[in-house]
Copies of this chain bind each other. A is one copy, B any other.
Amino acid sequence: MRSDHGLAVVRMGLVGAGRIGALHARNLARHVAGAELVAVADPRREAAEELAGQYGARPSEVDELLADPEIDAVVIASIAAAHQELVVKAAGAGKAVWCEKPASLTLEQIDRAIAATAAAGVPFQVGFNRRFAADFRAARATVEAGGIGTPQLMRSITRDPGWPAGLSNAAGVRPWTIFRETLIHDFDTLLWLNPGAEPVEVYTRADALIAPEYKADGLLDTAVVMITFDNGAIATAEANFSALYGYDVRGEVFGSKGMVVAGRLPSTAAVHYDATGSHQRTLRSDEEMFRDAYVQELFDFAEVVRGNAEPPVTGEDARRALRIALAAMTSHEQHRPVRLGEVR
């Protein structure tokens, strides 16, 4: 069967019906040309039913979904702790796998996921959405074209407009979230915008400034990580869980021949001028900033499933970003610079 623009249809099963699962469901059903959302699974059955119902898909159990011969590929958008096991299972079932970041929380896990998908001969793509945003893509293209020369100073920041869901609740807190789930984006961005370079050392300072009451439990909400690369570039990655003015994601690469900056703050092109000056609304969410990027990453995945492309973000990419996260965590725990070589 062929979709519009002559694309062969890729039948997708979605695992995970939370906020981000719902976002991917909508994109698969409506915005990704040549994709079809066939089934949705979630441990919370009603959530799967509701989401599947919205887009004419079938609610399902995970195992049933993975066993379905009509499904070509699986999109994993469960909680992070479940990612690795689902990747391995999906690979075992012969499905192409797309997994939200962080693909895994430990090196052992990511290695198992990489090995399983390799053994099964199925593609494995990871969800670093920034790589698919037009401005970050333009930045990368400029770097690759030599437009800024050799990177010397880099910056990547993530400031969430509000406390991430599930960060702290009755079930307790998730202490390392800021490194493995938030800054993981910035680590990947820095690696991607400094192509060919390897990180060498990491130094972290982090704190619980928004919610000091969680500090004793190790829940950090503000962090800066300095990373040095083997081509000399010195980078800072920075995160915070409560930017009152909105969603603030920016990147900057300064090099021997120039600079490129990505990321925007205004939410529309409207500017209001009054007696106090000029005023603009700011972006309020990742969905607002990365709407197209979320679509593009799944479109590109469908192309991978069709055999028309290699995964643009691989398990190895996830592993590289994870190693920086783990080094950053050790740096925080031991309050010292940590060499990437120490992370095994």
Contact = CB atoms under 8 A, between A and B. Distances in A.
Given A203-B337, A234-B222, A256 B280 contact: no
A282 B271 CA distance: 12
A125 interface: no
15 contacts: A134-B267, A138-B268, A138-B281, A139-B270, A142-B272, A207-B234, A223-B234, A244-B257, A248-B259, A258-B274, A259-B273, A261-B273, A265-B278, A277-B281, A336-B337
A26 B270 CA distance: 27
Given A4-B55, A272-B142, A275-B245, A254 B240 contact: yes
Contact of A279 (B3, B55, B278): B278
A127 to B, nearest CB: 21
A269 B264 contact: yes
A93 interface: no
Contacts of A168: none
Contacts of A275: 244-245, 257-258
Contacts of A209: 150, 152, 232, 256
A159 interface: yes
A335 interface: yes
Contacts of A147: 272, 274
Interface residues on A, range: 35 or more
A158 B224 CA distance: 19
A109 to B, nearest CB: 29
Interface in A1-52: 3-5, 26, 29-31, 33
A80 interface: no
A243 interface: yes
Nearest to A239: B153
Interface string A64-90: 000000000000000000000000000
Contact of A224 (B153, B242, B263): B153
Contacts of A4: 26, 29, 54-55
Contact of A277 (B136, B155, B261, B282): B282
Nearest to A227: B205
Contacts of A254: 159, 240, 243
A124 to B, nearest CB: 27
Contacts of A149: 244
Given A4-B29, A30-B31, 4 more contacts: A236-B238, A244-B274, A260-B271, A266-B278
Nearest to A147: B272
A142 B270 CA distance: 10
A214 to B, nearest CB: 14
Contact of A205 (B136, B226, B257, B265): B226
Contacts of A265: 273, 278
Given A209-B232, A273-B259, A226 B203 contact: yes
